Each structure stands twice: as C-alpha cells, then as structure tokens.
C-alpha cells in the first residue's frame, strides 16, 4: 500500500495579492508604452486570468485581415469553463497591436503575445510588472492584483452589482468575488454618508 505524504505549502513571500488603486492603475497604463504591453494590460484589465491571456490566439482577437473582433470566446484554463469576452473596450490597443502582429508575421493559430525568445511567459509578465512596481513605488503589483483592482473598481466606484462582476470573473460563488472587492470600513462609511434617510 502506497502512503501519500503531503508536503507543507511554501509560505507566500508577500501575502495574498491586493487590488491597486485607480490612480496607480492609470499611472501603470502610462508606463506600459509598447503596443504589446498596452494590449497585455488591457486584457488583464478585462479580468482575464494571466494564464488565459497568454494562451489567447491571434484568431481569438482578430479576423483574417487583422481587423479586431468585438468579442472573443475562450476556455478558461483554471475552470475549463467557456467565457465570452467583450473586446469593445480595448479596440484602441487591439488596433495598435495589429501592426506589430503583422510585423511579427503572426498566424491565426499563433499565441498573441511574443518575446524575443518565443511565446511570452508568466515569468516575463511578472518581470515587466516588477519593473513598473518599483518605478511607481508600489508595495505589490501582479497580474492577480490587476484582476482584483478591476473587480473592486467596478463594484465600488462604478456601482455594478457584485453578482454581475462574479459572473464576469467566472467565479463559482459570489463569496469569492466579495473577497476580491476587499470592502474596507471607509467604504462602509462612504455608504452611510450617501444614504438618503
């Protein structure tokens, strides 16, 4: 009989990722100045997990003439669930990147993002974000913190119901989305301050 031994998990270096602020996001957006990096950030801002962003193919975002699509159908790697992504908010970075994709002679079945060494990897994205984290003086910046930022922003600033955001994130339960929202006492106070009684 084989006995399964579970090894303890390595502790996280910096704890769970936290959402960044709107100001930090806008500053990051100005630093991401290459067409590739701007589109990469734009797709992460659509709340797509980084593994799924890096697996997106050219044909998912562009037609045969490299005209940006308005929607992309992907299958999430983590959940294996299909997901429809509205690309209309990111038409500008998609258009800008089209010229880069043509220059790289990317084919419809190629992944969308490349580095000099081949397909862009998660480690490279983390390295890019780490450089910008240092420039901006942020405590933390990761693809996941960008996903959390957008969820928090849409719930607390824009006022979109948490159930809608939960569906957008493809969460299995709204409780997971509540964690993403990271509601603080100041958010509760803001609600009290704006009550009509």
Q: What is the pLDDT of residues 44-81, one digit of tens each?
A: 999 899 999 999 999 999 999 999 999 999 999 988 98
Q: Give yes or no for residue 31 having a pLDDT over 90.
A: yes
Q: Write down the pTM of the prediction.
A: 0.81
**In this predicted structure, what is the pLDDT of residue 70?**
96
Q: Give yes or no for residue 11 having a pLDDT over 70.
A: no
Angle between helices 122-136 and 35-45 (to 10 degrees): 90
For range 1-23, the mean pLDDT: 65
**In this predicted structure, what is the pLDDT of residue 5?**
63
**In this predicted structure, what is the pLDDT of residue 24?**
93
C-alpha separations of 133 from 18, 117, 156 in Å:
13, 24, 24
* Confidence grade of residue 8 (pLDDT, cut at 50, 70, 90): low
Residue 13 tokens read as 């270096």
100 close to 110: Cβ distance less than 8 angstroms: no
d(CA 175, CA 29): 29
Q: Give yes or no for residue 12 having a pLDDT over 50.
A: no
SS3 content of the chain, % helix, strand, coil (to 5): 50, 10, 40
**In this predicted structure, what is the pLDDT of residue 9?**
52
d(CA 83, CA 48): 10
**pLDDT cut 90: percent of the chain above it:** 59
d(CA 166, CA 156): 14
Residue 65 tokens read as 């003439």
C-alpha separations of 43 from 34, 38, 66, 110 in Å:
14, 9, 17, 17
Q: Give yes or no for residue 10 having a pLDDT over 70.
A: no
**In this predicted structure, what is the pLDDT of residue 184?**
73
Please provide the average confidence, as pLDDT, over all residues in the chain: 88
């Amino acid at each position: 009989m084989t006995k399964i031994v579970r090894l303890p998990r390595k502790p996280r270096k910096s704890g769970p990722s936290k959402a960044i602020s709107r100001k930090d996001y806008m500053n990051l957006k100005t630093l991401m100045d290459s067409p590739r990096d701007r589109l990469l950030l734009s797709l992460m801002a659509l709340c797509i997990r980084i593994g799924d962003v890096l697996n997106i193919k050219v044909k998912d975002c562009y037609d045969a003439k490299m005209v940006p699509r308005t929607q992309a159908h992907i299958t999430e790697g983590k959940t294996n669930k299909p997901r429809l992504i509205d690309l209309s908010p990111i038409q500008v970075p998609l258009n800008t990147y089209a010229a880069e994709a043509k220059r790289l002679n990317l084919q419809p079945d190629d992944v969308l993002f490349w580095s000099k060494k081949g397909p862009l990897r998660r480690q490279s994205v983390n390295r890019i974000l780490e450089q910008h984290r240092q420039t901006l003086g942020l405590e933390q910046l990761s693809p996941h913190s960008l996903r959390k930022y957008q969820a928090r922003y849409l719930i607390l600033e824009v006022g979109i119901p948490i159930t809608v955001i939960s569906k957008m994130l493809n969460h299995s339960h709204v409780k997971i989305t509540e964690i993403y929202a990271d509601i603080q006492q100041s958010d509760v106070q803001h609600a009290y301050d704006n009550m009509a009684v």
